[in-house]
Amino acid sequence: MIDIHCHLLAGLDDGPDSIEMSLEMAEMAITDGITHVIATPHAHPQHAFVPELIKLRRAELQASVAGRLTLATGCDFHLSFENLQEIQRIPTRFTLNQKNYLLVEFADYSIPPSLDQALHHLQLAGLRPIITHPERNPLIRAKPERLYRWLRQGCYAQVTGQSLLGKFGKAAQEVAEEWIGMNVVHFLASDAHNITTRPLLLQEAFDHVAKKRGEDVAKALLVDNPLAVFEGRPLPWVPEMDDDIGLSPGATPRKRKRFWFF
């Protein structure tokens, strides 16, 4: 399995506070069957985002797990004015494995309409935004048509594996299950922060999806699509949304469509 969203590197944000804990998380991932991890510290006003320090932390950890786990870097990108200015100047400063995919996080307290335009500008710059853990955002859960609009605009969605297991509450669990069933989820990731409450584990989520949706879907969400992101390729599996998702009440629904493949 491949994890594209993980706070693994020490002393950079609200993830591990020591290199020793980073190594414990890495060993946990290896034992769980994870082969690739993209470390994605927050690019947020509350956390200084320093690519040179991120590279140093990655190199230190990679040396300790050489040959057993492949590490890359990116960030959990906050749509602040400063970040949006900087990413226009140097996109690979923030992207996953310095390719063309970008994790985008929204605040839990406000999603202004201007964010639609911000996402569009990111796409015009050649980036492929991935909306992180929308199932955990109460504003998106309350108005899921926002998510559907972003997906139709060309964005992707990443759900936290632990959400499917009920670790973020019943509301997040139910909507995560619903969205996977509606074909609006493209990735599962750990969003790990530590070795206890936010562990770097994915196998249980893989098994959960395989049991409910089939192993092909689990493999797409946890192996095939994440590997394409790691390598900067188009996603090999993109579930096509139903045409009637997000329609206003009284609108005529259209025929359900199947998955399509590149």
pLDDT at 47: 87
Percent of the chain with pLDDT over 70: 92
Residue range 19-27: mean pLDDT, rounded: 97
Domains annotated for the chain, with CATH where assigned, are: 2-245+252-261 (3.20.20.140)
pLDDT at 109: 81
Alpha-carbon dihedral sign for residues 24, 29, 30, 31: positive
Q: What angle do CA 107, 1, 65 make, to 5 degrees?
A: 95
pTM score, whole prediction: 0.92
Rounded to whole angstroms, how far apart are CA atoms 76 and 7?
9
Question: What type of residue is 173?
Answer: Q
Helices then strands, counting H and E runs in the chain, come out as 11, 11
Q: What is the pLDDT of residues 25-44, one digit of tens each?
A: 999 999 999 999 999 999 98
pLDDT at residue 257 above 60? Answer: no
pLDDT at residue 260 above 50? Answer: no
Contacting residues for 108 by C-beta, under 8 A, at least 6 apart: 137, 138, 139
Question: Quick one: tokens of 198?
Answer: 């936010």
- Would you say 26 and 39 are in contact if contact means Cβ atoms under 8 Å apart? no
